[in-house]
Structure 1
Amino acid sequence: MKRNIIVSLFLLWCAFAAAQVTEWSPDDRVIRSGRDDGRYLSSYGVVHSMLSNIKPECAFRPDMSRKEFGKWQKKVRKSMQEIMNFPKQPDNSPVPKRIHTVQRDGYRLEKWEYYPLPDCVSTFLVLIPDSLTKPLPAILCIPGSGGFKEELAGEPGVTTNLDNDYRNPKVTMARNFAKAGYIAVAVDNPAAGEAADLGQYGRGRNYNYDLVSRFLLEMGWSYLGYTAYLDMQVLEWMKSQSYIRRERIVISGFSLGTEPLMVLGVLDPSIYAFVYNDFLCQTQERALVMTVPDKNGTRTFPNSIRHLVPNFWHKFNFPDIVASLAPRPVILTEGGLDRDFDTIRRAYEISGYPSNVEMYHYPKFADPQMRKKIDKLPEGLSRDEFFDMVNVDAPDHYFKSELVIPWLKKHLE
């Protein structure tokens, strides 16, 4: 009898608790206060409002004179130096060392290791065309999320569960460049490929980026700051090689790799040109408009903490950074909003070299009539709705050598 009473009370409690739970409504897609004074009880509402009121210090202004534009570029560079927070490289670091060399069809493949931090060794691959008779232009190749340097070079991964796509010409960025007659240098992103922890054996390409990012953030750094610092050491090595034309070094980034590309481009004015193979967007706006809750009523952030750089939104958005690269040649291959492309176009007009920028949309949105013409995105978007509104065809996301290699030949030869 006593047992039955307890069970009955438990069931009543469950029914009561369930009655208190209400599902979120379509109105909850958009962040609203619900109070006459406009204040938010929800902490998410508070931080969302705070972000919406941030005006980046280094936002591009289309009415700048060329002189003002030059001063603005210096401001962007100083801000980037501050938030990237590079450590001082140890004076007694060993020089990079070549580990092995193998001959491939039409080029030589070398593997090198270098020592950018105490207790750290990192590696990169170099593809040198057999046609080398004098110093050649060189391209630093940075992979996207889940990618690694071996697949960029058309080589098997460091474990067998990374071997599934390394012969795909839509992936083999560095190999494609070497076949076209350029020196290609391929790197890993931190926590990926050869730089991954034990997860590379069981998780495959699903690397545990967030664990490394968390450690870096707790120490006052960031995943992007660490990535760009490592890539900068490889870039400096490239400049020191007699067979590389140091005044003709290009940075090529795919997807996630476009982020260190932008950092290197701002910090090193000697870089000659840039391949930006991803869609262009304003990251602050993306976080503000993707507010749709999931089925449990949880709003999710557009991306993971490996993209988190403290103070980034106070400084600039991606279009501002790309605009600051002018007048150096840049190609953008996967679209975005015409609004953001117009920012880049205007920067190159101010710099005096409007022909140094080329911009392409996904084939699905190549026809201007198929693109959304938007000045300000509305709140209340899901991820898929956001992609569609900014003219992104996610299944067609790959490294577009068919656009990039002819562009390189035009600017390098």
Structure 2
Amino acid sequence: MQQTGRTIPTETFYTSTESLSRLFDKNVRKLRFQGETAEAFRTWKQEAAAQLKKVTGMDQMEYCDLEPRILGTEQMDGYRREKWLIQTEPDVWMPFYILLPDGIAEGETRPAMIAPHGHGSAGKYSPASRTDIPAVAEAVENYNYGYGLRFVQEGYIVFCPDARGFGERREWMLQGEEERAFLNSTCVELNHIAISLGRSLTGMWTWDLIRLVDYIETRTDCTPGKIGCAGLSGGGLQTLWLAALDERVQCAVVSGYFYGYKDSLLKYSYNCGCNYVPSLWNHVDMGDLGAMIAPRPLLIETGNEDGLNGDRGLQNVTEQLEITRDAYSVWGQENRLQHHIFEGRHRWDGKETYPFVDRWLK
């Protein structure tokens, strides 16, 4: 074996991924739904929800007073943008924007939409379309990120939160204001800490949104029973989990985040560490999370060139969709599950979104 420079060539790699892939096939989806009745579905969902709260660490999280406070307000073109803060766990604070359409009469209510962000967004700034910030303007352009703005233009009261690790919730190791730090996150570092304490970032994100729903229900300007959630990528993750575990979410739109775990997160294990929850794959695949939303309206949108779909592309998506569709069939509500495939890469499309949400929330 000839030395080349400071290393030597490796003739054979003795890897473990293949073994873990076989383990996935052996153990995956032990909590899959196999019933044929609504009663069986309810029983399954209750068991699945309890297990998911356990593996994510949500069953350890503590309720506390929300202590909502307004931090600022600014009149925009056709809507008012307010900045708020709530406490989601003791001494854990979540800042968020509320976008309020102009023209709401005294005593009038509007449906509420939660618009969680994904990666490369600077947190709440991209869904709220803060294009006055040059780095955010580029992210909004690249990913069509301004869906929060679009929803307020459609007449909804919109909530754009910072997820833990993003925006104003970045941890100490990424608190600079240079563009790389500003746009990115400390979600990987937070998940490393969380899983070592029996929690997970997915659980913390979902918990925070559940507490945001708690806050929305206290507002007199939001229509009772009319709460939706829509997000791209990591925002799709947050939407999927929130809708699966909180039935107060009456309509969900998941963009760029619906595919089989094996192809997209086991084989493509370089995807962000925030996707990983201890033991999750032993219990469910992504289609099972979608099934837990049934029979409430769910729209999934997928770019046919989205690399996150994995090597098999749309097949990896449609396999999970069929798992979800089986649950909607149990309720006789197949029309409430919609899949929009668009030409393009990983981004928000929205072509079918706004009519879909209007149909079910307005």
TM-score, structure 1 normalization: 0.75
Give yes or no for contact 1:102–1:109 (8 Å, CA) kept in 2: yes
**Superposed CA offset, 1:63-106 (max 9, x none):** 62333222222222222222222244354x45110111111111
1:74-93 maps to which residues of 2 (within 5 A)? 74-86=46-58, 87-91=60-64, 93=65
* C-alpha deviation, 1:113, in angstroms: 0.8
| Residues 49, 162 of structure 1: alpha-carbon distance in 2 compared, 3 angstrom cutoff | same
Aligned match for 1:150, one of 125, 136, 142: 125
Question: Aligned partners of 2:340 and 2:66: how far apart in 1?
Answer: 43
**Superposed CA offset, 1:32-86 (max 9, x none):** xxxxxxxxx854444333222113222133x623332222222222222222222
Partner of 1:122: 94
* C-alpha deviation, 1:249, in angstroms: 0.1
| Residues 60, 104 of structure 1: alpha-carbon distance in 2 compared, 3 angstrom cutoff | same
1:82-231 maps to which residues of 2 (within 5 A)? 82-86=54-58, 87-91=60-64, 93=65, 95-133=67-105, 134-147=108-121, 148-156=123-131, 161-166=135-140, 170-197=144-171, 198-202=174-178, 203-204=180-181, 205-231=183-209
Partner of 2:331: 351
Cα root mean square deviation, aligned: 2.7
Q: Structure 1 residue 52 and structure 2 residue 25: aligned? A: yes
Question: Aligned partners of 2:9 and 2:71: how far apart in 1?
Answer: 64
The SS at the match of 1:115 is: strand
Which structure's CA Rg is the greater one? 1
Partner of 2:293: 325
Give yes or no for contact 1:76–1:321 (8 Å, CA) kept in 2: no
* 2:204 partner amino acid: Y
Partner of 1:402: 351
Partner of 1:33: none
* 2:48 partner amino acid: V
Q: Structure 1 residue 339 and structure 2 residue 306: aligned? A: no
Partner of 2:309: none
**Superposed CA offset, 1:282-316 (max 9, x none):** 1034455x3xxxxxxxxx62423221111111110
Give yes or no for contact 2:114–2:159 (8 Å, CA) kept in 1: yes
| Residues 193, 70 of structure 1: alpha-carbon distance in 2 compared, 3 angstrom cutoff | same
* 1:398 partner amino acid: R
Give yes or no for contact 1:200–1:207 (8 Å, CA) kept in 2: no
| Residues 179, 17 of structure 1: alpha-carbon distance in 2 compared, 3 angstrom cutoff | closer
TM-score, structure 2 normalization: 0.85
Where do 5+ consecutive residues of structure 2 fail to align?
304-313
* C-alpha deviation, 1:320, in angstroms: 0.9
Give yes or no for contact 2:94–2:163 (8 Å, CA) kept in 1: no
Structure showing the higher strand proportion among its residues: 2
Give yes or no for contact 1:143–1:257 (8 Å, CA) kept in 2: yes
Give structure 1 regions of 4+ aligned residues with deviation exceeding 4 angstroms: 15-20, 41-45, 159-163, 166-169
The SS at the match of 2:3 is: helix
The SS at the match of 1:230 is: helix
Question: Aligned partners of 1:154 and 1:315: how far apart in 2?
Answer: 37
Give yes or no for contact 2:28–2:282 (8 Å, CA) kept in 1: yes
**Taking every aligned residue pair, what percent have the same amino acid on both sides?**
20
Question: Aligned partners of 1:318 and 1:15: how far apart in 2?
Answer: 45
Where do 5+ consecutive residues of structure 1 fail to align?
1-11, 25-40, 291-299, 364-392
* 2:156 partner amino acid: Y
Q: Structure 1 residue 316 and structure 2 residue 279: aligned? A: no
